[in-house]
Structure formats: structure tokens, C-alpha cells
Amino acid sequence: TGQICGCGIQADLTVTFIAMKQGLLTGHAREYTGELQLAELDIPGAVFAQLTTDQHIISQTDVMAALKPRHRTAHKGNHGHSLLIGGTEGMSGAIQLGGTAALRAGSGLVSIATHPSHAAWLNLNRPELMVHAVESVQQLRPLLDRKAALGIGPGLGKDLWAQQLLLLALDSGLPLVIDADALNLLADMRHKCDHWILTPHPAEAARLLVCNTADIEADRVKAARALQQRFGGVCVLKGAGTLIASAQGIAYCTAGNPGMATGGTGDVLTGIITALVAQGLDNITAAKIGVQIHAEAADQAAAQQGERGLLASDIIDQLQNRVNP
């Protein structure tokens, strides 16, 4: 589970034998393992080949396999049109972070559906984004046409405006990344769907599973599986050792650092995953690769500037390096 039983040693280096242990990869154990190394004790590969598991650690090989070089004749239409929905009054920063991250993650086109009070400002501040002022579902509906993927939640709020936009997004049938306030609204709706990606942090996961945050953190693998079984699709349980749960099993992200514990980093992840889906990756692959490059970009930013004071926009600044492996 990654729980610490009594007194634990905060090691600089941990060597684990034969195979990786899931408890070393997520949760409180991340504070104690230090550098983690595997010693297979010269056990023949044929032995491991006979074993089956539904768990794996995301690797750079996975990233390179998913993010292949682009064709020399490509145009923007080949790389998907993402639509990000959110940014209630006073929350323009969240949706701008999500939209900018989608651009940096390679989406050919990115549209924003947001509150009218700051649509003009967003257009001026990030001209590459196509920003639409939306007051009602009637104004959102035509924006769904010819979109490859939707992301909803950054700065969305929980008022009637937010509820109506979420319901229309759910009914669209499009691949959908759900985060932040959209998850809190979803907790009261009790929907289940195969074509969405949910990205809760532990507190949001607790609301979805009707428990408390301590229950989630006590066994993160169990919680991730429970989220996926209850809500379907793909569930990303964020935190130390982010987990991606799907019908195929559990994937572990071992990258990332405490500097990511700051406002806006989840909005950035929403934009990244939405962009990867828009570019043609299936939902499971998009979630895994999105989580990995998000964490790697944060590690790169922290290596240059330190963890304390790291901003969500610092992660965006490193994204282009990560999506071109």
C-alpha cells in the first residue's frame, strides 16, 4: 500500500529484489525510498516471461513509442482540435493554463469556451487560443462540432452555468477529460462512461468514492481500481506516485516532485491529456503519456530552478522538450 508501518528509515537508496513492489512506487513510501533500484538476482528472463501482471511502470520507451516524429507534409488539421471548457467569472487563469498546455502538447488547434467576462482578455493574452464567450449551452453546442477531444473543469465553478456545460459535454459522446470542479459536480451525478478520463487528486477522489482523503491515501492502488470500476473509462489518481487505472490494469508514474503541489498544475495536466487524445492517442495511452511528460517537465523545471516556488507555467515552459523525445 505504501503505508509506513511504525518507524521507517528514510533511505538515500533502496534496492529491491527480483521485481518491483507496488508499495514502493506510490504514497507515503516515496518519502522513504530515496533512489530506487531493482536487482533481479540473475533470474532468467524466461521465468519473468511466464508471469502475467496488469501493472507496469511508465517508461521513456512508452513515451517514444507514442510520440513519433511528425510527417513532413503535416498540417494543423492532422493534429486535432481540442476544446477546453471552464473559467467561470474570476477564474480565467485556470483555463488559460489548460489551453496553453494543450498547445504546447501539440494540439493543432485549441479552442476555449469560457465566461464572457474575460474572453477578450484571454484572446489578447494568448493569441494562439481561439476563445469563445459562452453564457449558455446554446452557445456551447456549435463549438462541439469537429472537435477531437474535450477537456472540462479548470476554473469551471459549481454554479448552474457550470452544471449545464458539464451535462452538455457528457452528452456529446466525444472523448472527455474531466478535472477539478467538473469532478466535484460529477460526484453528485453518479454517471459511468467508457470514453472519459477522470483526473482526481486524493480529496476529489474521496468525494467520488464517498469516503475521506485518509482512506484514499491508505491504499492508493485499491482506490484507483475502485474509481475505475465505479466510473469506467480511465482514472488518474494524482499525488506522489500518480496511478493510471483502466480496464487493462494499473500504470505507475515514478517521475514528479513536491514542487508540483501548487495551484494550476492539474489544469496543465488536463490540457496535456486532452491534446494527446485530440492527436489520436487512445484514452489509456494519452493518460499514461500525459501524466509522464507532465511529471518529467516538472522535474526538468525543478532541476533548473528548485522545487520551492515552482509554478504551473514553469511546467508548460518545459513541455515542448518532453513531447519531442
Q: What is the pLDDT of residue 325?
A: 87
Task: Tell me the pLDDT tens digit for each residue of 84-117.
Answer: 999 999 999 999 999 999 999 999 999 999 999 9
Q: Are strands 249-252 and 55-57 parallel, antiparallel or unpaired?
A: parallel
- Within 8 A by CB and 6+ apart from 196, the residues are 175, 176, 177, 178, 231, 232, 233, 234, 283
pLDDT at 52: 87
Report d(CA 109, CA 79) in Å as an integer: 8
* Domain(s) of CATH 3.40.1190.20: residues in the chain: 62-322
Phi, psi for 40 (deg, rounded to 5): -85, 0
C-alpha cell at 297: 517537465
Q: Indicate if the pLDDT at residue 58 is higher than 90.
A: yes
Q: Which of 232, 302, 242, 231 has the alpha carbon at shortest distance from 266?
A: 242
Find where cell 482526481 sits: 200
pLDDT band at 170; cut points 50, 70, 90: very high
3-state secondary structure (DSSP) of residue 324: coil
Which residues face 244 on adjacent strands? 236, 251
Give the residue from 46, 42, 38, 43 showing the smallest Cα distance to 17.
38
Distance between CA 140 and CA 162 in Å, rounded? 12
Q: According to the model, what pLDDT value does residue 5 have?
A: 86
Name the CATH superfamily housing domain 62-322: Ribokinase (3.40.1190.20)
Q: For residue range 216-242, what is the model confidence (pLDDT) as tens digits?
A: 999 999 999 999 999 999 999 999 999
Percent helix, strand and coil across the chain, each to the nearest 5: 45, 15, 40
C-alpha cell recorded at residue 229: 470500476
| DSSP 3-state of 200 | coil
Q: Which three cell numbers stand for residue 140?
A: 456551447
The pair phi, psi for residue 138, each rounded to 5°, is -65, -35
Amino acid at 249: G
Share of the chain above pLDDT 70, in %: 100
pLDDT digits 0-9 by tens, 137-149: 999 999 999 999 9
DSSP 8-state code for residue 24: G
- Inform me whether the pLDDT recorded for 45 exceeds 90: no
> What distances in angstroms separate CA 109 from CA 21, 60, 97, 313, one per listed residue?
41, 26, 15, 20
pLDDT tens-place string over residues 109-160: 999 999 999 999 998 999 999 999 999 999 999 999 999 999 999 999 999 9
